[in-house]
Structure 1
Amino acid sequence: MITVSVPPAIDSIALEARIASRADVRLVPWALQGPPSVPARELDAVVLPFHTTSATPNPGYVGPTELAALATAESVRLVQLLSIGAEGVAAHLPPAAALCNAVGVMERQTAELAVTLVLASQRDLAGFVRRASTGTDRWDNRRTPGLAGARVLLVGHGGIGSLVERMLEPFGVAVTRVAGSERTLPDGRAVHGPDALPALAADADVVVVTLPLTTRTRGLIGAEVLAAMPDRALLVNVGRGPVVDTAALLVELRAGRLRAALDVTDPEPLPDDHELWALDDVIVTPHVGGNTELMPRLLLDLVADQLVRLDRGLPLENTVEEPR
């Protein structure tokens, strides 16, 4: 039998039902706030709550202080994330623990939100709703930039970025791709390296960021890239907030030169008095990219399969290779 801690975000009854006939697993609650409900040495696996690198995490999330509690569970062999991003966790892993993420759970929903933000911004839905609610210029049937035929730069071409590209195909957009390294896709499409970003941004109507946060991506979308973007171009970020330099972005937004649609921000959560909330050409959503009604079921399926693998001694899926 293996003993596994699960956070409140996971329905333990539903998880147990998925595992019951497949593995011998004992589930115990632990949200990393205080000691686990059993001695830490008895844990074989920890299903981590949603996590953040912020010292002031959102409700239901854990931050660096709580993550430090992982080190007390020295016998843990698996730390399972409920997200794709793994930033900030590796430093706290028990010595023998594998770190696995939730690849396959949130990519489609996050790509869906990215395209939603692009469409909403390119057709200025927020502006039309705002004028309708205030009663000012309600029938201002002016032209908007639109998406059809636009030049789109995808910054990140993993699971989310590649899905965004597929979802954009019907709009006849011209897509350029940037990822962590230069490569050619099997069908011959080019993926540029990050050094090409400023030059490519200069020719983009829309820039969509889907990158995870690493030491290499932090601040990647900074003053140089933002200044290179054409006037009134749109920046969309559904990756991680610190990939974009918020201070540099605010300079461009205050001047009215760029527009933005952000599902992730730096800082996060975004304070109520932050300037981003008040700017007309900015849409902010509260980090909800993967958060649809489909997500809990997909997470349960993933966690159940991983625990069965652990119990049977089979190779784990979605292992994250990060330095400790």
Structure 2
Amino acid sequence: MASDIWLPIPADEIDGIPAPADTGLDYRFWDGGPEYPADPADCVFYTVPYMKGVEAAVRPMAAMTSVRVVQTLSAGIDHVEPGLGSLHSGVRLCNAKGVHEASTAELTLALILASLRGLPGFTRGQDAEEWRAGFYPALADKSVLIVGYGSIGAAIEDRLVPFECARIVRVARSARTTARGQVHAISELSTLLPDVDVVILSTPLTEATKGLVNASFLARMKDGALLVNVARGPVVDTKALLAEVESGRLTAALDVTDPEPLPPGHPLWHAPGVLISPHVGGSTSAFMPRAKRLLAGQLTRFVAGEPLLNVVRTIE
């Protein structure tokens, strides 16, 4: 009988997971390497290797004929979607909600503050022994728009509140009301963009959001506005963004790019007003403890036959 649990973290490093002797399960360590730890057909719970790319994520999925759960350690699921069609009906796909919110929100604020306050220029000035004094934009009194108001978008707002922004505007796939106020539908973006100073992208990558930030979107942003992308690179049309930043009309802070990794010689590297971090929104010291807690909880529920957390799709 199939009984393997595939984990990208050694099982003996995860406190609280069910003991194999008590469950009949076998834990197999696989972090995306060329050799599988066992026959994929015997895997019943597949934890996708973290940040190893689409090829590694989907490689064993077609052979996982007994799998019942696919668990990502990322908030997004776009890297496993190409393999979902090979899975049998009833497989539950779970994401890592609760693991990345704090770290991604931290980096979002860091990118905003670094961009507005001119920190990249200060670093270059220090290297050149130049004292670059002057007045720089502040986050205080700015209007901020969050596009993608899920758990990460809400965590970003939590951290924006103490900075005395003039207002925070929220946008999601559909309109709703939260304890903090109105969430606008994504269809309202064209009317919201001209009135904000900072636009934060924290939306999942889907067919609906791919290329969302195109030339028309960017043209609606006010002169001097800052675009911050902590979502996925393909949410933004890179060519359209380059046209705006090279003209000096907009600035950008990007934790994700399209293409990614950004290759040497790409014009984004040296585009004026662009700050780039190498997709490190969730890659912090907070990741591993939270990922381990998530896996321990999910596996405990799985063994007990209890409902899993963070089920984002069930294969039909």
Q: How does the TM-score come out when normalised to structure 2?
A: 0.92
Structure 1 residue 294, shift from structure 2 partner: 1.6
Aligned pairs for 1:219-230 within 5 A: 219-230=211-222
Matched, 1:118 2:118: no
Q: Tell me how far apart the structure 1 counterparts of residues 107 and 62 of structure 2 sit (CA, whole Å).
A: 35
SS at the partner of 1:160? helix
Matched, 1:85 2:79: no
| Change over 3 Å in CA distance of 1:37–1:197 after alignment to 2 | same
Structure 1 residue 12, shift from structure 2 partner: 2.9
Any idea what the Cα deviations from partners look like across 1:219-268, whole Å, max 9, x if unmatched? 11111111111222100010111111111100001111111100011111
Aligned length: 310
Aligned pairs for 1:2-13 within 5 A: 2-7=3-8, 10-13=9-12
Any idea what the Cα deviations from partners look like across 1:267-293, whole Å, max 9, x if unmatched? 111112211111241111111101111
Structure 2 stretches lacking a partner, 5+ long: none
Match of 1:170 among 162, 177, 202: 162
Structure 1 residue 22, shift from structure 2 partner: 9.8
| Change over 3 Å in CA distance of 1:323–1:206 after alignment to 2 | farther
Any idea what the Cα deviations from partners look like across 1:77-112, whole Å, max 9, x if unmatched? 111101010114244242142111100000111011
Partner of 2:43: 43
Q: Tell me how far apart the structure 2 counterparts of residues 222 and 295 of structure 1 sit (CA, whole Å).
A: 32
Any idea what the Cα deviations from partners look like across 1:172-227, whole Å, max 9, x if unmatched? 1111111111222245x111111221221111111111111001111111111111
Partner of 1:181: 174
Structure 1 stretches lacking a partner, 5+ long: 52-60
Partner of 1:239: 231
Q: Tell me how far apart the structure 2 counterparts of residues 319 and 66 of structure 1 sit (CA, whole Å).
A: 18
Partner of 1:99: 93
SS at the partner of 1:63? helix
Moved more, 177-186 or 281-290: 177-186
- Is contact 1:207-1:234 (8 Å) kept? yes
Amino acid at match of 1:46: Y
Structure 1 residue 37, shift from structure 2 partner: 2.2
| Change over 3 Å in CA distance of 1:70–1:41 after alignment to 2 | same
- Is contact 1:4-1:43 (8 Å) kept? yes
Q: Tell me how far apart the structure 2 counterparts of residues 220 and 26 of structure 1 sit (CA, whole Å).
A: 43
Q: How does the TM-score come out when normalised to structure 1?
A: 0.89
Q: Tell me how far apart the structure 1 counterparts of residues 199 and 220 of structure 2 sit (CA, whole Å).
A: 11
Amino acid at match of 1:20: A
Aligned pairs for 1:1-324 within 5 A: 2-7=3-8, 10-15=9-14, 18-20=17-19, 24=23, 25-34=25-34, 36-51=36-51, 61-64=52-55, 67-93=58-84, 94-95=87-88, 96-135=90-129, 138-173=130-165, 174-187=167-180, 189-321=181-313
Structure 1 residue 42, shift from structure 2 partner: 1.6
Q: Tell me how far apart the structure 2 counterparts of residues 225 and 199 of structure 1 sit (CA, whole Å).
A: 10
Q: Tell me how far apart the structure 1 counterparts of residues 44 and 20 of structure 2 sit (CA, whole Å).
A: 19
Q: Percent identity?
A: 41
Amino acid at match of 1:181: S
CA-based RMSD of the aligned residues comes to: 2.1
Large movers: runs of 4+ above 4 Å: 32-35
Q: Tell me how far apart the structure 1 counterparts of residues 221 and 45 of structure 2 sit (CA, whole Å).
A: 46
Q: Tell me how far apart the structure 2 counterparts of residues 72 and 81 of structure 1 sit (CA, whole Å).
A: 18
Amino acid at match of 1:178: V
Amino acid at match of 2:78: E
